[in-house]
């Protein structure tokens, strides 16, 4: 493996480049980003060695790390352009629409549907970190549809990045991510909005904001350019997650209206077990 091309040089694409450069310094990295400033920063930070939009015949791997609603067309056009020995991996947060779009493409076997479960509330090449992907989960969907030799190259990369592999179907991936990732971002954005709306009347409200508020609203700093497309691509599952979440909020409110504080305490005690599931106490 001698050459890797990254399209989308933000947090994930940039962190991937920095980490793999450190693990395999012999690889040449080229890349492209539609934002000229991102491209300039990626070169200055050493994420890529050369900026280009050309997909040369000798590229071993093309990584697609652009917003979710751009990946469908980008994936198809990339497959149309690559040579027979090139692997294409995407880092998108949604998978079902992508896998359907490429299902009948003659080069389907040259595509690996992937998703690194990693990120921060920051965006752009300057937010990239060489250790962002270390020990994180990398989900692969429709593994059996990728060429075995090209898949082996992907495994070499993921092993070098010290990532943990998980395998699932695309529909299952999108449904689960709606609940454990996408919903938490919506919740954080709406908490931020609720407090900002209240601030119009009470200017000093943020003086009373403690660490609990800060940690809960942290994701509201995430890039709308990234998250609005995720909501678009995962609409069906997001609506299901939001409906259940809104229902639970309403039931919680109803207990307060009814002065059922014993019921509230019991409910919260049951929910405490999520800390054990996620090892939050460690």
Angle at 270 between CA 269 and CA 273, to 5 degrees: 95
Architecture of domain 172-277: Orthogonal Bundle (1.10)
Percent of the chain with pLDDT over 70: 98
Give the pLDDT band of residue 195 (cuts 50, 70, 90): confident
What's the pTM value of the predicted model, to 2 decimals?
A: 0.87
Gap between the Cα atoms of 56 and 53, Å rounded: 9
What is the predicted pLDDT for the residue at 199? 78
Give the pLDDT band of residue 121 (cuts 50, 70, 90): confident
| pLDDT above 90 for 260 | yes
Domain 3-169 fold is Rossmann fold (3.40.50)
* Burial degree of 113 (CB within 10 A; 0-12, 13-18, 19+): buried
Gap between the Cα atoms of 121 and 217, Å rounded: 10
List Cα–Cα distances, 62 to 14, 55, 106, 144, 249, in angstroms: 13, 8, 17, 19, 43
Relative to beta strand 137-141, strand 111-116 is antiparallel
| pLDDT above 80 for 201 | no
What is the predicted pLDDT for the residue at 209? 75
Q: How large is the angle between the packed helices 170-177 and 235-257, nearest 10 degrees?
A: 30
DSSP letter assigned to residue 180: I
Give the pLDDT band of residue 210 (cuts 50, 70, 90): confident
**Average pLDDT of the residues of the chain:** 93
Q: How far apart are the first and last CA of the chain?
A: 39
Angle at 174 between CA 179 and CA 225, to 5 degrees: 85
The predicted-structure confidence for 34-69, as pLDDT tens digits, reads as follows 999 999 999 999 999 999 999 988 999 999 999 999
Grouping H, G, I as helix, E, B as strand and the rest as coil, residue 25 is coil
Domain locations in the chain as residue ranges: 3-169, 172-277
The predicted-structure confidence for 71-90, as pLDDT tens digits, reads as follows 999 999 999 999 999 999 99
**Looking at residues 250-278, what average pLDDT do you find?**
92
Contact residues for 170 (Cβ-Cβ < 8 A; gap 6+):
95, 96, 98, 99, 100, 113, 141, 142
Gap between the Cα atoms of 39 and 180, Å rounded: 32
């Amino acid at each position: 493996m001698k050459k890797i091309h990254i399209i989308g040089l933000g947090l994930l694409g940039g962190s991937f480049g920095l980490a793999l450069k450190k693990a395999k310094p012999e690889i040449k990295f080229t890349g492209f980003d539609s934002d000229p400033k991102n491209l300039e920063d990626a070169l200055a930070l050493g994420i890529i060695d050369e900026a280009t939009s050309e997909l040369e015949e000798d590229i071993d791997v093309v990584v697609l790390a652009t917003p979710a609603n751009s990946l469908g067309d980008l994936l198809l056009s990339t497959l149309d352009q690559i040579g027979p020995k090139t692997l294409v991996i995407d880092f998108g947060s949604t998978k079902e629409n992508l896998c359907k779009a490429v299902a009948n493409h003659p080069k389907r076997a040259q595509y690996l549907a992937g998703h690194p479960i990693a990120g921060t509330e920051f965006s752009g090449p300057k937010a990239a970190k060489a250790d962002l992907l270390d020990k994180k989960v990398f989900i692969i969907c429709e593994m059996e549809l990728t060429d075995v030799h090209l898949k082996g190259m992907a495994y070499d990369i993921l092993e070098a990045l010290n990532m943990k592999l998980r395998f699932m179907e695309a529909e299952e991936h999108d449904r689960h991510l709606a609940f454990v990732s996408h919903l938490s971002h919506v919740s954080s954005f709406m908490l931020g909005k609720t407090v900002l709306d209240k601030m119009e009347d009470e200017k000093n409200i943020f003086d009373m904001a403690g660490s609990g508020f800060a940690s809960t609203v942290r994701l509201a700093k995430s890039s709308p350019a990234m998250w609005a497309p995720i909501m678009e691509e995962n609409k069906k599952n997001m609506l299901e997650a939001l409906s259940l979440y809104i229902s639970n909020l309403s039931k919680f409110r109803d207990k307060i209206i009814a002065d059922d504080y014993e019921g509230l305490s019991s409910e919260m005690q049951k929910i405490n077990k999520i800390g054990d599931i996620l090892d939050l106490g460690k």
